[in-house]
Chains A and B, each alone.
Chain A
Amino acid sequence: AQSVTQPDIHITVSEGASLELRCNYSYGATPYLFWYVQSPGQGLQLLLKYFSGDTLVQGIKGFEAEFKRSQSSFNLRKPSVHWSDAAEYFCAVGPRSNDYKLSFGAGTTVTVRA
């Protein structure tokens, strides 16, 4: 059965510091991979996605993620966080098929301190 693990429930980072959020997945084949961000009281916004090709993908708001097939990981990074990056981040995977349901990790809450 497919599963998505985000090992860190909560991360606190100083403004201007780098951020890395971990995501590991268990899947029968290489899935499509996504990172979404949810600000308090808001919906989910797509940060970036990986379908194929270059394993380092760039997203919005200065985020990037690296797909590592050997480690079944898709970690999200940002070199320098801003206070507005405080939010909950979700890793998601979806099958390469028409039954396209996303499976989400439990989420990582990021707090940014001044």
Chain B
Amino acid sequence: DSGVTQTPKHLITATGQRVTLRCSPRSGDLSVYWYQQSLDQGLQFLIQYYNGEERAKGNILERFSAQQFPDLHSELNLSSLELGDSALYFCASSPLAGTEQFFGPGTRLTVL
């Protein structure tokens, strides 16, 4: 158990819908990262937050957004969902940027 929690574990929804994935980092970790794992793209970095502020962005679609709240938990919002958004979404946390990241168990999103 890494100490990073993600909810929900599974999510099934329809095209065009909007979902919110939630992540609670390890106690004391200030950095939160979101990754997408799909069969065709592999593991891709989406976005990083550090102590509430966006720090780095990867190939995150405009339909996707994230935020980190004052209690340091983070949410990833995915809207206008498409079939291709079906993937495993991981959250990771680290105490400081530039140190190892600890991954949560992931949220498996299925878009039908």
**With A and B bound together, what is the CA distance between A72 and B103 in angstroms?**
25
**With A and B bound together, what is the CA distance between A42 and B37 in angstroms?**
12
Contact residues in B for A46 (Cβ distance below 8 Å) = 100-103
Known contacts A36-B103, A44-B103, A107-B42: A100-B90 contact under CB 8 Å: no
Contact residues in A for B19 (Cβ distance below 8 Å) = none
Q: In chain B, what residue has the closest Cβ to A106?
A: B42
For residue B86, CB closer than 8 A to chain A, the reply is no
Chain B interface: which size bin? 20 to 34
**With A and B bound together, what is the CA distance between A81 and B94 in angstroms?**
30
For residue B48, CB closer than 8 A to chain A, the reply is yes
Chain A interface: which size bin? 20 to 34
For residue A98, CB closer than 8 A to chain B, the reply is yes
* Shortest CB distance B58–A (Å): 6
**Residue in B4, B90, B97 whose Cβ sees the most chain A Cβ within 10 Å:** B97
Contact code string B15-58 (vs A, CB < 8 Å = 1, else 0):
00000000000000001010100000011110010100001101
For residue A75, CB closer than 8 A to chain B, the reply is no
Residues of A74-114 contacting chain B, CB below 8 A: 90, 92, 94, 96-107
